[in-house]
A and B are shown apart, each in its own frame.
Chain A
Amino acid sequence: AAGVIQSPRHLIKEKRETATLKCYPIPRHDTVYWYQQGPGQDPQFLISFYEKMQSDKGSIPDRFSAQQFSDYHSELNMSSLELGDSALYFCASSSNVQPFPLHFGNGTRLTVT
């Protein structure tokens, strides 16, 4: 079965640079979530989109922005990168059928040097 696709799998950036992470949800899933997982930590909710509109917002820094496009893929844009932004970034998707289980991608590992 098709899963959530994230790209790139690994990304190395320097401080103050910009990064763009991409997420392609499972076909027919209209909802996308972004999570950040620091080393040895649990995933933290950043932001979600439903039908291309921002729905919920969590602990997402103002330096980060995201959007969902007409084909339902989503991009997370991160500017003025800091060392503390180094983490695994997961995208998850769900359909609008309760109980809306989330299906996670395998993540993008971002390293800021």
Chain B
Amino acid sequence: GENVEQHPSTLSVQEGDSAVIKCTYSDSASNYFPWYKQELGKGPQLIIDIRSNVGEKKDQRIAVTLNKTAKHFSLHITETQPEDSAVYFCAASNGNAGGTSYGKLTFGQGTILTVHP
């Protein structure tokens, strides 16, 4: 099955700095890569996602890049703010397996991001 490795496990930055979180996946059939933000006591919240036919996607201060050859994808947050502090998870799935396979996500281990004012 799929295996997703996420680094770093913790990341501490100053307000206004950029933050980068990296993930690698093992299954070359994976074609959907969402990123989730999880705050204490809440469920994961989708912040951005990318499909394998796209190399980069941006939404305001958040961007994701995908390197299919290296099986590697990254989350970039610019101009970080204290409210960005949370646990971030990358995930991968193979949407071509049919049925509800897009949502059969394998998550990375999570990154605790702390943004200091």
Taking beta carbons and an 8 Å cutoff, which residues of A are in contact with B? 4, 31, 33, 41-45, 48-50, 55-56, 58, 90, 92, 94, 98-107
Contact = CB atoms under 8 A, between A and B. Distances in A.
Contact of A100 (B41, B44, B102): B102
A42 B108 contact: yes
Nearest to A94: B103
A1 to B, nearest CB: 13
B102 to A, nearest CB: 4
A107 B102 contact: no
Q: How large is the interface on B (under 10, 10 to 19, 20 to 34, 35 or more residues)?
A: 20 to 34
Interface string B30-50: 001010100001111110010
Q: DSSP majority for the B interface?
A: mixed
Nearest to A57: B104
B109 interface: yes
A42 B111 CA distance: 10
A106 B104 CA distance: 18
Given A42-B109, A101-B49, A33 B44 contact: no
B109 to A, nearest CB: 6
A81 to B, nearest CB: 22
Contacts of A104: 36, 43-45
Contacts of B89: 42-43
A29 to B, nearest CB: 11
A52 B24 CA distance: 34
